[in-house]
Amino acid sequence: MKLTRRNLLMTTAAATTAAAQEAPKPAAPAKPRTPAWPGSCRAFRGDALREIAFPLGGIGTGTVSLGGRGDLRDWEIFNRPNKGGLLPFTFATLRLAGGGLAKPVIRVLERRPLPPFGGASGVPRETALGLPRFREAVFTGAYPFAHLRFQQPGFPVEVALEAFNPMIPLDTDDSGLPVALLTYRFTSRAASPLEAAVAFSLMNPVGYDGATRLRGRRAPFFGANLNEFRAERDLRGLLLTSQKYPPDSARYGSLAVLTTAGDVSWRLAWEHGGWWDEFQKWWDEFLLKGRFSNAASKASPDATTEYATLAAHFPLGPGETKRILFVLAWHFPNTENYWTQEKENRGRPLRNWYGSRFASAFDPAAYAARNFQRLRERSARYRDLLHGSSLPPAVIDAVSSQASILRTNTLMVMENRLTLAFEGCNDNAGCCPMNCTHVYNYEQALAHLYPDLERSMRDTDFLTNLRPDGSMSFRTPVPLRQGGNRNQPAADGQMGCVMKVYREWRLSGDDAWLRRLWPQVKRALEYAFVQWDADRDGVMEGEQHNTYDIEFYGPNSMMGTLYLGALAAAARMARHLGDTVAATSYEALFQQGGARLDQLLFNGEYYVQKVDEKQERAGRYQYGEGCLSDQLLGQWFAEVVDLGKLLPHEHLRAALRSIFRYNFRASFEDFPNTQRLYALNDEAGLLLCSWPRGQRPALPVVYSDEVWTGIEYQVAAHLIYEDLIKEGLAIVQAVRDRYDGARRNPWNEIECGHHYARAMSSWSLLTALSGFAYSAPHQELRFRPRIQRAAFRCLFSTGTSWGGYSQSLTKEKLEATLEVEGGTLELASLRLPYLGVKPGLRAPFKGAVTLQQGELAIRPAAPLTLKPGDSLRVAVSDSPLP
């Protein structure tokens, strides 16, 4: 059944059902008219701005970050991380004249600097921090949007900045643009007309290696840098190139800055001179003349580059508001394989995906400028559905902010969308390469937001990295190589990958894809029978390398639940594909394994490890009687993919409660930790492991005393799945409190590296709180909100579609609305909560409704197909619906 467009649906009398009917009511929850953003966001100011670096960039394009003060920092657009990387003299400046001003005023569009101000020769002058700035700024961020309000008492203009890079779920193309869109907004407080100009200055960085600290425009890798002005009908801007490098060089590329402003002036190269002359002359020209010369320029001498400025000029009447858009775009199409240890591959250039889509930085800049309204609206819709949802602010913050990871240098996308993912980023290099199976066990954001890239990783896992013996290389050498590397496989990673195939298949419904992978999936699963579960009792006991970079010896529920989850997932896939023999065998082993694991390891409070003391290396780095935060990792994953319980439910709940009770600390002030330091002083956080009953091994599992946000979110989400809401939210709040802008950057959670992929487990907070599940093979969508059920709203992404869900729920009635924003939602079944006993349905389709254990199953007579803009509203009630 094809549904009508939203407007049509809203105004027509809808189809009847077997049950009662009801007219649409304005009281029903609907798309919020006023987005909650930025109401749900933290506002940062003063000291809390110091660590903020909000990444602006598309998937696989690298990023430049917006600092808390409005500065551009951490230039990571050169195909590698670059924490602290600064482009000299790259900043935007406002000039005002007229409006009753005695003389022109110039102010850099940033907050003034925060201490410390040390440094061998003072604050580096190439920051341009010597120019006047605003006294304070208030930063709010709702990824992908950052917003800054600048404050300066008595300043004749109100100034704000909105910065973002388009992010639209499922739309990998438009979410993969190498641009930063900066919109400065000016509102005059002056009594008479002002003449305003915004000058965007930047260094031509083409040739930069992305790692050296730049202190000016001189460096050996520069030379033949050329800045050109380009005007097209609706756009004016600068293209910054270099003629020094051929197109296949890793140093080759371009930068562009464009504006849609009508009146511009520009300077293609700051006037040269000794000492401080270049900057002084630039200042004098802008201050005194107010416009730049528009003079021609030529390529720079070797080992030097040029600074350039593009200025937009506009009048601003009293009370008037104007917006000036600057599109900053880049194009560095060749990634250098700097990370491999293999001599023959080191330094080999690789073409990246975005590089192959565009010819120069001008192309994506122009595309983004011309499609600005659409890109902004779609991105804002994603933002508003998430930030306007009923989730607690800390959860929204965790889900929203950590989705940024997939658009940092942690994730590389190469030609043909081959997805290569580091675990995270060191200051100047990805760390550790590549597609690590066990770290990516935790990540759930990419799978739901950009499942095409997630499937690319599965292809690599199973079609390239799986060896003939069924073991999987748990890292990916580049270039890809059949069988991957020679390291031992990771038990958790390999089992997790089987579950991930199940997830990807459920979200895509792509049977052909599943069939292609299936023989390899079986081989990967059955490798466990050889290596880890040699006695084939459904419980691993062999040497189990895992995400703690060590081996577990003997049964443990972390590997155990992943193994059970893999068996359960594989059984379902086998049934679907008609592989009955496999299905039956997996199901049997699943049953046997679950019972045995529970019997072996549950100590009344939680699941322990039975260390296999016979193993030579089992004397170290085991957790034994400890309470491991990851002890139910497989069960958590099973919740996300709706696989059901792997172990007795009450034991699972008890174990979760124990994890919270024993591993969550309100303070680390008196906690001695010889390991790595992610929580300090009076910060709160969740330990990886504790030994509440004593018997802590002298040399316990490594990382036991650490605090990893990826595991914190995993446990928090799992607590929430079990309706232990308060506990789950306490953990999430603790994480976000640690990332408060003064201590750490809210948009960069660290573990072994910045922007660490494990933190994308935060997406499961959204699925847990909304009770979201989607099975594309069954075209079944479920919501089971766990908070604020009376009036609940959330974002969803099924992998094929995304949009908003909202419900109002009373004792006797459910009203629910589904709005599709992108993709296509095929719907044969909708499962929703219900508190009544006699459900009668009113919906714009014919269908049946059944109630089981407080959950409705609404089945249209024929599957529905919802497209972007479609809205589906259903009402179910014990009373007759009007």
Residues that bind its own copies (CB under 8 A): 50-51, 83, 106, 112-113, 115-125, 127, 129-132, 135, 273-277, 279-281, 283-284, 287, 424-427, 431, 550, 620-621, 669-678, 680-681, 698-699, 702, 705, 738, 742-745, 748, 750-754
SS (H, E, C) 506-563: HHHCCHHHHHHHHHHHHHHHHHHHHHCCCCCCCCCCCCEECCCCCEECCCCHHHHHHH
Distance CA 334, CA 627 (A): 46
Q: Rounded to the nearest whole angstrom, what is the least distance from the CB of residue 121 to its own copies in the complex?
A: 6
Distance of CA 141 to the CA centre of its chain: 14
Q: Rounded to the nearest whole angstrom, what is the least distance from the CB of residue 133 to its own copies in the complex?
A: 9
Closer residue to its own copies in complex, CB, 246/672 = 672
Q: Rounded to the nearest whole angstrom, what is the least distance from the CB of residue 736 to its own copies in the complex?
A: 14
Q: Rounded to the nearest whole angstrom, what is the least distance from the CB of residue 139 to its own copies in the complex?
A: 16
With contact defined as beta carbons under 8 Å apart, do 637 and 441 qualify?
yes
Q: Rounded to the nearest whole angstrom, what is the least distance from the CB of residue 87 to its own copies in the complex?
A: 17
Closer residue to its own copies in complex, CB, 323/617 = 617
Can you tell me whether residue 264 is helix, strand or coil?
strand
Backbone angles phi, psi at 198, to 5 degrees: -120, 125
Closer residue to its own copies in complex, CB, 84/882 = 84
Within 243-396, strands assigned E span 254-259, 263-267, 307-316, 321-331, 334-336, 349-351
CB atoms within 10 A of CB 645: 14
Q: Rounded to the nearest whole angstrom, what is the least distance from the CB of residue 737 to its own copies in the complex?
A: 12
Distance CA 319, CA 333 (A): 45
Closer residue to its own copies in complex, CB, 39/273 = 273
Distance of CA 665 to the CA centre of its chain: 27
Among 37, 801, 53, 796, smallest CA distance to 408 is for: 53
Question: Which helix (DSSP H) or strand (DSSP E) does residue 430 occupy?
Answer: strand 430-431
Distance CA 163, CA 143 (A): 10
Q: Rounded to the nearest whole angstrom, what is the least distance from the CB of residue 763 to its own copies in the complex?
A: 23
> Which amino acid, 742?
A
Residue with tokens 């050889």: 530
Q: Rounded to the nearest whole angstrom, what is the least distance from the CB of residue 328 to its own copies in the complex?
A: 23
Among 822, 841, 838, 373, smallest CA distance to 830 is for: 841
Backbone angles phi, psi at 429, to 5 degrees: -155, 150
Q: Rounded to the nearest whole angstrom, what is the least distance from the CB of residue 115 to its own copies in the complex?
A: 4
Can you tell me whether residue 367 is helix, strand or coil?
helix
Q: Rounded to the nearest whole angstrom, what is the least distance from the CB of residue 792 to its own copies in the complex?
A: 36
DSSP state of 392: -
Q: Which residues of 10-26 are buried (b: 16+ CB within 10 A; e: fewer)?
A: eeeebeebebbbbebee
Distance CA 431, CA 448 (A): 24
Q: Rounded to the nearest whole angstrom, what is the least distance from the CB of residue 706 to its own copies in the complex?
A: 8
- Cis preceding linkage at 116, omega within 30: yes
Closer residue to its own copies in complex, CB, 424/785 = 424
Distance CA 844, CA 6 (A): 12
Closer residue to its own copies in complex, CB, 18/699 = 699
Closer residue to its own copies in complex, CB, 586/756 = 756
With contact defined as beta carbons under 8 Å apart, do 144 and 166 qualify?
yes
Q: Rounded to the nearest whole angstrom, what is the least distance from the CB of residue 663 to its own copies in the complex?
A: 17
**Which residues, at least 6 apart from 806, have a Cβ–Cβ distance to it below 8 Å?**
29, 30, 31, 791, 792, 793, 794, 816, 817
Q: Rounded to the nearest whole angstrom, what is the least distance from the CB of residue 56 to its own copies in the complex?
A: 19
Closer residue to its own copies in complex, CB, 303/742 = 742
Distance CA 506, CA 799 (A): 9
Closer residue to its own copies in complex, CB, 10/702 = 702
Q: Rounded to the nearest whole angstrom, what is the least distance from the CB of residue 622 to its own copies in the complex?
A: 13
Distance CA 614, CA 541 (A): 11
72 forms beta bridges with 66
Closer residue to its own copies in complex, CB, 256/411 = 411
Q: Rounded to the nearest whole angstrom, what is the least distance from the CB of residue 668 to its own copies in the complex?
A: 9
**Which residues, at least 6 apart from 676, have a Cβ–Cβ distance to it below 8 Å?**
703, 706
Closer residue to its own copies in complex, CB, 152/335 = 152
Closer residue to its own copies in complex, CB, 129/597 = 129
Q: Please, what is the end-to-end C-alpha distance for the chain in angstroms?
A: 24
Closer residue to its own copies in complex, CB, 130/393 = 130
Distance of CA 119 to the CA centre of its chain: 34
Distance CA 633, CA 622 (A): 17
Q: Rounded to the nearest whole angstrom, what is the least distance from the CB of residue 162 to its own copies in the complex?
A: 26
Closer residue to its own copies in complex, CB, 283/529 = 283
Q: Rounded to the nearest whole angstrom, what is the least distance from the CB of residue 369 to its own copies in the complex?
A: 31
Q: Rounded to the nearest whole angstrom, what is the least distance from the CB of residue 78 to its own copies in the complex?
A: 18
Distance CA 158, CA 152 (A): 8
Closer residue to its own copies in complex, CB, 51/878 = 51
CA angle 371, 376, 381 (to 5 degrees): 135
Residue with tokens 């929203």: 400
Closer residue to its own copies in complex, CB, 170/701 = 701
Closer residue to its own copies in complex, CB, 10/106 = 106
Closer residue to its own copies in complex, CB, 630/815 = 630
Distance CA 241, CA 235 (A): 18
